[in-house]
Structure 1
Amino acid sequence: MSVDDLKQRSEVHENETWKIEDLFSSEDVWKDAYEDLQKRIPEITIYKDRLHEGGDVLLSCLQMDEQLKEKLIPIITYAQLQLATDGTDPLNQARQGQARALIGEYQQAVAFITSEIIALSEEAITSYFEQAPDLHDYETPIQEILKNRPYALSKETEETLAALGEVHDAPFTIYQQSKSSDLTFSPFRDDLDVEYPLSFALYEDKYEFSEKTSVRRNAYEKFIEGLSRYQDTYASTYATEVRKQVITSRLRGYESATDMLLHNQQVSQDAYHRQIDTIYHELAPHMQRFAKLKKRVLELDSMTFADLKAPLDADYNPEITYNESAETILEALKVMGNEYVSVMEKGLYERWVDRADNIGKRTGAFCSSPYGSHPYILITWTNMMRGTFVLAHELGHAGHFYLANKHQRVGSVRPSRYMIEAPSTMNEMLLAQHLIAKSKDKNMKRWVILSLLGTYYHNFVTHLLEGAFQREVYKTAETGITITAQKLNELKYDVLAGFWGDSVTLDDGAALTWMRQPHYYMGLYPYTYSAGLTASTIVSQKIAREGKPAVDKWLSMLKAGGTLEPIELLKQGGVDMSTSEPISQAVNYVGTLVDELEKSF
């Protein structure tokens, strides 16, 4: 088998792809929508310099802006989804460039709205709501704008920054484009001299989990070899992103870039550091025990970084088809009630999911939920049982935003990133509970525990350590130290070494892990995975104990969208994240899972 055996996108069976035509029936229809919106965007400037005139004017302006957003979102999503399925296709690249340009035109046209609302006095805002009662429909986005009042620049400066939106997004765009179409890897051979093709998706979704030590380690060696060739370029790209945030935060009057990014998340410094520090220090002993257990059971000469995701029970590594996985997920989620399950059924059987593997497809998994349409889930299906948890995770995002889109206006749908991973990991928790309760096979129960630990590893280890690393990067940048590949490697290595101690043998390649995820270009996103999983751990246990009352609270949170700040949203959902108690409880639960494994071997 060689790398040439990987399919082109055109060779993939339709049933394995998402139904992109639900957004636009053809390329021509998309182009017509694009051109129509491009003509309409300038119309909103009739309200420029007029928002001081009264509530009716502001209401009309926000209504037009809402209409523009509802047309813009599917246009942008279509371009993004097409690029995600094949980043090597010049048409997809060109379309994405057009979409970014359209975003820039929209942002530039509506920039005055934020500036002019910020310029209004509290008395004026109050009177506006009295003059135009329908303005209450837009209260959430208005209040979000007003929270930025202390950090706003001049109207002219804000409009200039908005016009440069595409430029500001350039580091992320460059990273994604290079990762999908430039970065390639040499094939590798196992201990029997069998050759395997290597791609980002194949490594992260398959080889990293291989039961064969030679496959894991040899794939890792070639994977790191490929990454290392681009480390200086990727470091420059990431350094540009970090520098952008640092400079912007200073211009706006924040104490630091961290303060600015947390302000956007509606999260305090205390909550941010509490989440990282509690897990980093309290979870490390449990994960070190887990690593040492793997080394002993798998009879490894050493526990290397390439071995961390090796299956602990190599003789029990079940495969599963997509349809079997779908049935299992639906059974597990029955506890959530008919309304929620019906959304899951649509997602699984009405081609919301793109599960093919082809050249140029984006790695990993994600869910995009455009307002006015159904969600779209990207995953690479490898018939490994672990994929069931990944699929359930992305369906959690889909269910969240399907319900939020249904119950909220477009400007009030998205909550803070701090809690965005709670609905997705809830599905994983419920899936694990179902599998443990259903199975009488001790091997299956042990496999489920291992899968749960895989979920916690992903969120409490992989992404939490990304967050800890990211925190150090911003600290370093704030002092004026130049961010280079060497510095990033040093920071990442230190974070990994501090967590794993002597339980894992780290090589220099482990430090290049910072190159593997796009989350660093999304603000302080990585640490929020652990916040979401903390919440879902606590509430899933409540659902197991209480049933419908706990479910109803959770669903009410999903439907609330972004109408509340994240701590308040999660309280509505059934968990209080204002202290470290739920974090420690979740970490202790992970410890009990490791305890169970140690007893079973």
Structure 2
Amino acid sequence: MANKPNDRMKRQDVPKEQKWDLTDLFKTREDWEKELKAVREDLPNVTKFKGDLGNSAKELLECLEAKEKLLERFNLVSMYANLRLSVDNTDTTRQKDASRVSEAQSSVNAELSFVETEIIGLPKDTIDKFIEEEEGLQPFKKFLKDLQDKKPHALSEETEETLAALGSLFSAPYTIYNRGKLSDMQFDPFIDKEGNEIPLSFALYAGKYISSPSKEVRRNSYESFNKTLKQYKHTFAATYATQVNHEVTTARLRNYESAEDMLLQEQQVTKEMYHNQLDVIQEELAPHMRRYADLKKRVLGLDSMTYADLKAPLDPDFKLETSYEEAAETVQEALEIMGSDYMDMIKTALSERWVDYADNVGKSTGAFCSSPYGAHPYVMMTWPDTMRGAFTLAHELGHAGHFYFAGKNQRMTNTRPSRYFIEAPSTMNEMLLGNHLLSNTKDKRTRRWVILQLLGTYYHNFVTHLLEGEFQRRVYNMVENGEPLTASVLSEQKAEALNKFWGDSVEIDEGASLVWMHQPHYYMGLYPYTYSAGLTVSTLVSRDILDEGKPAVERWLDVLKAGGTMEPLELIKKAGVDMSKPDPIREAVAHVGKLIDELEESYDE
């Protein structure tokens, strides 16, 4: 057997340039600790208004401004602890700091819960009168309206305060899932074709081995990966069941028809919009993706198309630039169409260490962007040594651009739009990157490679996350009907959803049925399906940007700057797309079909 390669780096050994710079939040951990204490001590600046919010418009405004200011500070405190933990989940100090923040969050939420409950309890006429009397309340207008919409589902002030105080317990399933996945799970090394023993982690599997050109690497890493998952399936099933049961119970207590109704109201999305995404894409995209799977099987000469092979590269010998630095340069070139203000932000992000891209022990899997109000965004990813990473980088910088501009143009209360829209600015950048690469090459093989990257984006959002959404829909319906969730039930439902989509094109084995264990998204409400909504929007708007240029760019930047001042349907219409109908979804799916058509033609010539 060949020599074992070096183990993954410990966090302290990661080169500075590969790590983000958290001193922009707090210079030292001691400074953070002082501010955590100070924020808690300053709670009376808000709680002194308790019981008085109906007295006058002036008092309501003063309370809302004091609460917002305190939450701005606490947000920075919370972000610092959680970002530190995300890059090293094995560090006990970081674990403790994140736990302290979580406990503080519950305490702060409980102390401040009176603000929302008192506002919800005020008559609508009183709210309207206050807004008319006090000009300073205008920026809070949507916030106040949204609270009034919750009136039918509000509980007593004492109950709301108790629920808020229990916040850290309600978020425990998410914490337990991540702690088990990132701190406890240990994966056996696997053997590659040459007999080398290769180390395995969640991040390495998802970011590298799953898309390896080597069949042996893909299938052997998949086998070792799932061997460990199986050992945790009963614990993770109980954890997830707790999450779903909590949401279903909460919905009943609040007099919603279902947990779905409760979670969709949060997103300000109709059931029709939700079901359109799940139903239209599954029905109309499945035939295209089956063709894609069949093409891979034929071109790669596979004996069978297993779930482990779905992300296999179609042209494994063809490589473009793969270093982080080169990819960052390409991303900048692709986004120049967005104008100078947007580009200044991108250049700053890449040169001033807003991005953490190292691979080290204990680092969270996947990628994300956190955007603390009053500071700049932070992007976490693990660089995979493939150009696919450029699309991940562009994606997360799309989130960064969104909240950078929202933060510059709105107060904190109005920065966050519905989650339904959140993935549109991120996937927009992937669309622009793909087009940039396509328009700068006449080489047939390069063009084919770029189409494959774009299909990777659609696979991620229209297949992986969309089928997570279908799985969630099944699970919520089961629990609403009193059916218990066990590991076998969850695996059975996941396998059914996968089989329905892929048909006979892909073998769905036991490992595929454990995909419900891969993502933390299940612990974040109805998040997964929104990826497909965002990509639907960005597919159509990116086409407008490429066709119209500056006018479409300016419309899009206005949408980003609007932050959370509009409901998602209205916000997306501002960009030129009407998501109340299934037509945009059909257009986006047809676009994927055309990409697969071109791919098939390139192999048939």
TM-score range, shorter chain: over 0.9
For 1:202-601, list aligned pairs within 5 A. Answer: 202-601=204-603
Deviation at 1:138, TM superposition (A): 1.5
> Which residue, out of 28, 31, 36, partners 1:29?
31
> Which residue, out of 126, 151, 158, partners 1:156?
158
Describe the SS at the equivalent of 1:49: coil
Deviation at 1:319, TM superposition (A): 4.1
Deviations 1:444-495 (A, max 9, x none): 1100000000000000000000000110000111000000001000000000
Deviations 1:232-279 (A, max 9, x none): 000000000000000000000000000000010000000000111000
Q: Distance in 1 between matches of 2:67 and 2:384?
A: 42
Deviation at 1:2, TM superposition (A): 4.2
Deviation at 1:322, TM superposition (A): 1.3
* Equivalent residue number for residue 5 of structure 1: 7
* Equivalent residue number for residue 131 of structure 2: 129
Kept after mapping to 2: 8 A contact 1:555/1:573:
no
Kept after mapping to 1: 8 A contact 2:127/2:144:
no
Q: Distance in 2 between matches of 1:243 and 1:303?
A: 36
Q: TM-score, normalised on structure 1?
A: 0.99
Gaps of 5+ in 1: none
* Equivalent residue number for residue 20 of structure 2: 18
Kept after mapping to 2: 8 A contact 1:319/1:383:
no
Deviations 1:519-552 (A, max 9, x none): 0011000000000000000011111111111111
Deviation at 1:498, TM superposition (A): 0.2
Kept after mapping to 2: 8 A contact 1:9/1:359:
yes
Kept after mapping to 1: 8 A contact 2:124/2:148:
no
Q: Distance in 2 between matches of 1:459 and 1:130?
A: 43
Q: Distance in 2 between matches of 1:383 and 1:307?
A: 19
Deviations 1:378-409 (A, max 9, x none): 01012210000000000000000000011011
Deviations 1:396-440 (A, max 9, x none): 000000000110110110000001000000000000111000012
Kept after mapping to 1: 8 A contact 2:428/2:535:
yes
Kept after mapping to 2: 8 A contact 1:84/1:362:
yes
Kept after mapping to 2: 8 A contact 1:42/1:109:
no
Kept after mapping to 1: 8 A contact 2:424/2:537:
yes
Letter in 1 for 2:121: A
* Equivalent residue number for residue 63 of structure 2: 61
* Equivalent residue number for residue 101 of structure 2: 99
Describe the SS at the equivalent of 2:369: strand
Deviation at 1:4, TM superposition (A): 6.0
Whether 1:179 and 2:181 are equivalent positions in the alignment is yes
Kept after mapping to 2: 8 A contact 1:19/1:351:
yes
Letter in 1 for 2:572: L
Letter in 2 for 1:247: T
Deviations 1:485-521 (A, max 9, x none): 0100000000000000000011111000000000001
> Which residue, out of 33, 37, 40, partners 1:38?
40
Letter in 2 for 1:459: N
Q: Distance in 2 between matches of 1:143 and 1:98?
A: 33
Describe the SS at the equivalent of 1:523: coil
Letter in 2 for 1:415: P
Deviation at 1:590, TM superposition (A): 0.3
Gaps of 5+ in 2: none
Deviation at 1:137, TM superposition (A): 2.2
Q: TM-score, normalised on structure 2?
A: 0.98
Deviation at 1:3, TM superposition (A): 7.5
Kept after mapping to 2: 8 A contact 1:426/1:540:
yes
Deviation at 1:42, TM superposition (A): 3.4
Describe the SS at the equivalent of 1:420: helix
Tell which deviates more after alignment, 115-124 or 413-422: 115-124
Q: Alignment RMSD, CA only?
A: 0.9
Kept after mapping to 2: 8 A contact 1:311/1:317:
no
Describe the SS at the equivalent of 2:54: helix
Whether 1:116 and 2:118 are equivalent positions in the alignment is yes
Kept after mapping to 1: 8 A contact 2:369/2:379:
yes
Kept after mapping to 1: 8 A contact 2:321/2:327:
no
Q: Distance in 1 between matches of 2:23 and 2:464?
A: 35
Letter in 1 for 2:273: A
Kept after mapping to 2: 8 A contact 1:278/1:583:
yes
Identity of aligned residues (%): 54
Tell which deviates more after alignment, 176-185 or 217-226: 176-185
Describe the SS at the equivalent of 1:451: helix
